[in-house]
Amino acid sequence: MRVAWGATGPGDGPVGRRVAVTGIGVLAHAGIGVDAFWQGLSRPAEVSHHRRVEGFDPNAYFGPKEVRRVDRFTQMAVAAAEEAFEAAGRPDVDPARAGVWVGTGVGGLESLEVQVMVNAERGPRRVSPFLVPMMMANAAPATISMRFGLRGPCETTVTACAAGTQAIANAARLVATGRCVLAVAGGAEAAMTATAQAGFTNMTALSSVGISRPFDRDRDGFVMGEGAGMLVLEDMEHALARGATIHAELAGAASNADAHHITAPSPGGSGAVACMEMALADAGLSPSDIVHINAHGTSTPLNDAAEAEAIGKLFGHPGPPVTSIKGVNGHALGAAGGVEAVTSVLTIQRRAIPPTGGLENLEFDLDVVVGEPRAWEPGPMLSNSFGFGGHNGSLVFLPPSEG
Q: Cα(263)–Cα(301) distance, rounded to whole angstroms?
A: 12
- The sign one gets for the Cα dihedral 263, 266, 272, 277 is negative
**What are phi and psi for residue 226, nearest 5 degrees?**
-150, 175
Number of residues in the chain: 403
Q: In this structure, how many other beta carbons lie within 10 angstroms of the beta carbon of residue 55?
A: 9
**Catalytic residue flag (residue 49):** no
Q: Cα(279)–Cα(342) distance, rounded to whole angstroms?
A: 18
Q: Cα(258)–Cα(319) distance, rounded to whole angstroms?
A: 23
Radius of gyration over alpha carbons of the chain, in Å?
Answer: 20
Catalytic pick among 29, 238, 331, 391: 331
CA dist 67 → 29, 62, 84, 137 (Å): 21, 5, 21, 17
CB 380 within 8 A of CB 291: yes
CB 320 within 8 A of CB 378: no
Please, which residues bridge with residue 25 across strands?
230
Catalytic pick among 238, 292, 296, 391: 296
Catalytic pick among 154, 161, 180, 275: 161
**Catalytic residue flag (residue 296):** yes
Burial 22-52 (b: 16+ CB within 10 A, else e): bbbbbbbbbbbebeebbebbeeebbeebebb
**Catalytic residue flag (residue 154):** no
CB 297 within 8 A of CB 343: no
Coil/strand/helix, residue 224: strand
What's the N-to-C CA distance of the chain in angstroms?
11
Active site residues: 161, 296, 331
